Amino acid sequence: MPADQRSSRSEWRKRRGERVRTRTVRRTLAASLSIAVVTCGVAHAGGGLNVYDEGHLHYLRSSGDRLIDEGKAAGTVPGKVIVYFEYTGNPTVYAHFTIYARAGTISGYAKGRLSNPTSPSPSFRGALSLSGGAGHYAHAHGSGELYGVFYRRNYAMTVQTRGRLDY
């Protein structure tokens, strides 16, 4: 092969190598940028949890058919809980609650049914829905189930929640 042909071929290989390296660098930068955008999007979007919490609540006061109880919750989202429990003598009960966790608050409501309305300690079960929050849980929403026991003698309650929390 003549010398001038060899030099042009070597120039071609050299230019081709530069194009390949440039293309590789561009692809690597694009991939890195995509990963950064996705990661930032996930960080700002918040997260989701399967939650299980249990609280032992004591009576604070009442107003008409509404009992106000508070206590500590332990589990996935621990903190102080205040529950406004409405019981009118019917098997259907309602609860509005707020959990004061370290990173913010979570609020929600539930509608349930007493299993044995004439018992001194009837249990109840129903669906719950999270309606919002503050702080880290500002965009909280989710659903699940509320279980509990209402102690008529001292108006205390034991409650358990299971569900999905997205924030």
- Residue 4: is its pLDDT beyond 90? no
**What's the pLDDT at 46?**
56
Class of domain 48-166: mainly beta
- Sorted by where each begins, the domain ranges of the chain are 1-45, 48-166
Whole-angstrom distance, CA of residue 92 vs CA of residue 68: 17
Closest by CA position to 157, among listed 112, 90, 100, 127? 112
Q: Is 56 exposed, middle or buried (0-12, 13-18, 19+ CB in 10 A)?
A: middle
**Strand boundaries in the chain, DSSP class E:** 48-63, 66-75, 79-87, 92-101, 104-114, 123-135, 141-151, 156-166
Mean pLDDT of 91-115: 95
How far is CA 127 from its chain centroid? 16
Query: Is the Cβ–Cβ distance between 69 and 157 less than 8 Å?
Result: yes
**What's the pLDDT at 22?**
46
Closest by CA position to 83, among listed 102, 72, 73, 70? 70
Render 7-35 in DSSP notation, one character per residue.
HHHHHHHHHHHHHHHHHHHHHHHHHHHHH
State what percent of residues in the chain have pLDDT above 70.
Answer: 72
In this structure, is the dihedral angle defined by the CA atoms of residues 135, 140, 145 and 146, taken in order, positive or negative? positive
112 three-state secondary structure = strand
Phi and psi at 102, nearest 5°, equal -60, -40
Mean pLDDT of 46-64: 90
- Residue 11: is its pLDDT beyond 90? no
Q: Which residue would you say has higher pLDDT here, 42 or 62?
A: 62
Average pLDDT, the chain: 81
pLDDT in tens, 25-47: 444 433 333 333 332 333 334 57
Query: Is the Cβ–Cβ distance between 153 and 135 less than 8 Å?
Result: no
Q: What is the value of pTM for the model shown? A: 0.69
Q: Considering only 31-45, 89-103, 114-128, which range has the smallest mean pLDDT?
A: 31-45
